[in-house]
Amino acid sequence: MSKKVIMTQEDIRRTLARIAHEIIERNEAIENVVLVGMHTRGVPLAKRLAANIEHFAGVKIPLGTLDISLYRDDLSSLNLQPVVKQTDIPVSVDGKSIVLVDDVLFTGRSIRAAMDALTDLGRPRLIHLAVLVDRGHRELPIRADYVGKNIPSSRHEEIQVNLEETDGVDEVAIIAVPVAKEG
């Protein structure tokens, strides 16, 4: 197994600052934005973005968390049932500009589930997606509106996002998982 670091702590900090600026730029009525972090690592990322936005625009954006376990399309084939976590959005989503925040965008299925969950909660004005890493290999027509870094990867590679809040360190790495030899 070989590991290559793609983003350092400094890279991550600068990227999140840039995304925060982009969100401010693209949303005239910044007060209408709600940041919703997807469990697990989307949550601290959303928190950091909210702090950045408050720092740059002087506005405190509402912050929510979203669990998609109950909306997954692969529940019957997973080996173990995921533990459901709390969905907690402190304001109504009706008419709001939701920015979903996640760490890695891959097949797009989690985002599909997140959109279903959000539309069950109300009728947002729009839903945008912010991700730290886009690694390609989409299986559904989903795209991110704000991307930290594009990391083209093969299916045999694993993108590992570590954040201080959850893993003790800030780092994005790509790990090549050896392909099983044919017997």
Partner 1 sequence: MKTSQRKDNPTLQIKPKVSETTSMWRHHHILDVDDFTQEEIELVFHTTQVMKEVMSRPIKRVPALRGKTIITLFYEPSTRTRLSFELAAKNLGADVANLSASVSSVAKGESLVDTLSTLQALGADIVVMRHPQSGAPYIAAKYIEASIINAGDGWHAHPTQALLDLYTIYEHKGSLNGLKAVIIGDIMHSRVARSNMWSLTTMGAEVTLCCPPTLLPVGLSGQHRHLPSVSIQPNIELALDGADMVMALRLQLERQQSGLLPSIREYIQLYQLTEARLARAKPDALVFHPGPVNEGIEISPAVAHGPQSVINEQVANGVAVRMALLYLLAGSQKQ
Which stretches of the chain bind partner 1, using CB under 8 A? 40, 64, 67, 69-72, 75-92, 116-117, 120-122
Nearer Cβ to partner 1 (16/101):
101
CB of 53 to partner 1, least distance (A): 22
Contact predicate 74/107, CB 8 Å: no
Nearer Cβ to partner 1 (19/66):
66
Specify the length of the chain in residues: 183
Cβ count within 10 A of residue 33: 22
Tokens of 57: 């625009």
Distance between CA atoms of 118 and 94, rounded to whole angstroms?
10
CB of 159 to partner 1, least distance (A): 18
CB of 170 to partner 1, least distance (A): 21
* Radius of gyration, CA atoms only, the chain: 17
Which residues, including other chains, have CB under 8 Å from residue 143's CB and lie 6 or more apart? 129
Nearer Cβ to partner 1 (90/183):
90
Nearer Cβ to partner 1 (61/144):
61
Tokens of 116: 């279903």
Nearer Cβ to partner 1 (57/118):
118
CB of 31 to partner 1, least distance (A): 19
Running DSSP on this structure, what letter comes out for residue 41? T
CB of 181 to partner 1, least distance (A): 29
Nearer Cβ to partner 1 (98/151):
98
Distance between CA atoms of 102 and 87, rounded to whole angstroms?
15
User: Which residue type occupies 5?
Assistant: V
Please give the span between the terminal C-alpha atoms of the chain, in angstroms, as a whole number.
20
CB of 116 to partner 1, least distance (A): 7
Distance between CA atoms of 65 and 46, rounded to whole angstroms?
9
